[in-house]
Structure 1
Amino acid sequence: MKPAALVLCLVTCTLLIACTQSAPTQSTNANTAAPKSPTTSATATPDSASLARAQYAKHCEGCHGQTGEGGLVKVDDKRLKVPSFKVGHALKHADEDFIKQITKGGDGMPSFKDKLKPEEMQALVKLIRTQFQGK
């Protein structure tokens, strides 16, 4: 995968995880009461968490790093500053912003709309929120 694509993937993954963060509090409440409507990013099962980790390793880790720290990366002979999932603006992004970044790409990050399913993107956002942001 090209470095720019990896950067975009990682940014997208970060956005996904950031977007999933608000869902866990809702899912905790939904587990104690009957759900009113289906949610696609309520809670991660062990299988979905494992799959999200594998997707992160495949598509995001090359630019965002194993621990989501980001930093300077060389992609297609271009040096990119990949955002961290742990500090800064990534902590403030809504889950929808992460999903949009993963889907459309931009700022050096490739689009993953043809590589990841919506539920995989949501699982990546959940992964970013829980593993890198402690949410």
Structure 2
Amino acid sequence: MVSEFVYRRQTMEVRFLGLPIIDDRFPALCLIVKHWAKKKGILDACSGYFNSYSLILMVLHFLQCGINIPILPNLQHLFPDYFHFFRALDEMQLFVDLPKPLPEIPKNTLSIGELLIAFFNYYNNFNFDEYAISVYRGCIYPRFFIN
């Protein structure tokens, strides 16, 4: 279970990453995946399925780690002072400029359609029995670390 503190912090970071100045494919892919999940009847946390927040985190992880040229950076690594785990949430502001410009990274040119197919392939082949995703760390890690 995600604690309230972790949930609020990750929500803050997801909102920050949702800004089109980083990459407008992130919110677009989130909307498509959520629409697909709703049509398939698996966007229903009360019935043991996904909630919107978990799908957004899955898209975020995929865009950080699931493709050869990542689309979204890991803000915790780039700006550890700003996104530090113990920084008070009221010190973090939404919709403000990043503390410094993002470093230049190779441009990923995949379309939304190509990303959607790659998203489904990534999670179709992901070994959930042995691994977990971490948006905070920007990686996957063995499940025995969390058990």
TM-score (norm 1): 0.28
Greater RCO between the two (CA within 8 Å, min separation 6)?
A: 1
TM-score (norm 2): 0.27
Rg larger for: 2
